[in-house]
Structure formats: structure tokens, C-alpha cells
Amino acid sequence: MKQNSKRVNDVILQTAAIIIFFIIVIFSIDLFFAGHYSPGGGFIGGLMTSAALVLLLLAFDSKTLANVLPIDYRLMTASGLLIALLTGLHSVFLGRPFLTHAYGKFDLPLLGEQTLHTAIAFDLGVYLVVIGITLTIIQTIGESE
């Protein structure tokens, strides 16, 4: 098949893609966690992670990606939405207005004492929704003939 004969020549691209993929993912996670104090956040972090996945899609094909990461991106979108909404709802159960955020200091193993804020959970929701939506769009367009 044409696809196979083409793939033989992709050694440089594929090798580079594997290395670059991890750098991009680490950068995107850094952007995601940096959001509270410096530019970044859930949206741009999510876009960057999906860009890394798109790079894998370009270097390999959608079947390989589905084998490596067997994720249903529609469910990912749904769980992102659920996390964001539940973050908003948790304050309702505590008798405060909807979307009131809370924070506290926690003594985490390895990381020491850290301040955690529920805004990060909301951001995690955004992050998952962005990845889910982007890859659903790309996969749907890519697979329809």
C-alpha cells in the first residue's frame, strides 16, 4: 500500500516526534500549573497537550495513537465538564454561593507544605475539555472519508 511505502521514509520524523512529544507535554503541564501566578492555565495547557498528540498523529497514524493511548476523547470532555461543575457545586453543599473557591495548606509527601486551591480543579476540568474537544474534532475530520 501507498501508506506503507511512505512510512518507511519517516524514521527521522518519528524518532524526533517521540522525543519532542515528551518535551511538549512537560511544557504544557508546566503551563497548566503555572496558571495561577504567571501566564498559562487550563486552556493553553490543554491546547499544548493536544498539539503534542497531534504531532504523534502526524508522525504515525490514528490507529497507532489509539493503541498507545486508548482514550475516548468524548468521555474526556464529559469528565472535564463534570469536574468543573462539581468544583462549582462543592461550595453549594457547604452553604456558600455557587463557584466560591476554597484553599488550604497541605503537607504533601515529597513536595512538602503546599497551598492547594480548588481553582486548580476547575482548571483541570478546562484542561480536559480542551484536549477532549480538540482531539474529537481532529479525529472526526481525519477519519471521515
User: Could you say which residues in the range 11-70 bind another protein, by CB under 8 A?
Assistant: none
Task: Indicate the residue among 95 and 112 with the shorter CB distance to another protein.
Answer: 95
Pure H helices in 2-144: 2-7, 11-34, 42-59, 62-68, 73-93, 119-143
Q: Which of 17, 28, 110 is nearest to 56 (CA)?
A: 17
Tell me which DSSP letter residue 60 carries: S
Kindly report the backbone phi and psi dihedral angles of residue 23, in degrees, each rounded to the nearest multiple of 5, phi listed first.
-65, -45
State how far the Cα of 37 lies from the Cα of 55, in Å rounded to an integer: 29
State how far the Cα of 136 lies from the Cα of 144, in Å rounded to an integer: 12
Does position 77 interact with another protein (CB under 8 A)? The reply is: yes
CB of 72 vs another protein, minimal distance in Å: 10
User: Could you say which residues in the range 91-110 bind another protein, by CB under 8 A?
Assistant: 92, 95-101
Task: Indicate the residue among 47 and 133 with the shorter CB distance to another protein.
Answer: 133
Q: Are 21 and 52 contacting, i.e. CB atoms less than 8 angstroms apart?
A: yes
Does position 82 interact with another protein (CB under 8 A)? The reply is: yes
Q: Which region among 52-60, 85-93, 105-113, 133-141 touches another protein (by CB under 8 A)? A: 85-93
Does position 88 interact with another protein (CB under 8 A)? The reply is: yes
C-alpha cell read off for 144? 471521515
CB of 115 vs another protein, minimal distance in Å: 18
CB of 89 vs another protein, minimal distance in Å: 7
Does position 78 interact with another protein (CB under 8 A)? The reply is: yes
Which residues sit at the interface with another protein, rule CB under 8 A?
Answer: 74-75, 77-79, 81-82, 85, 88-89, 92, 95-101
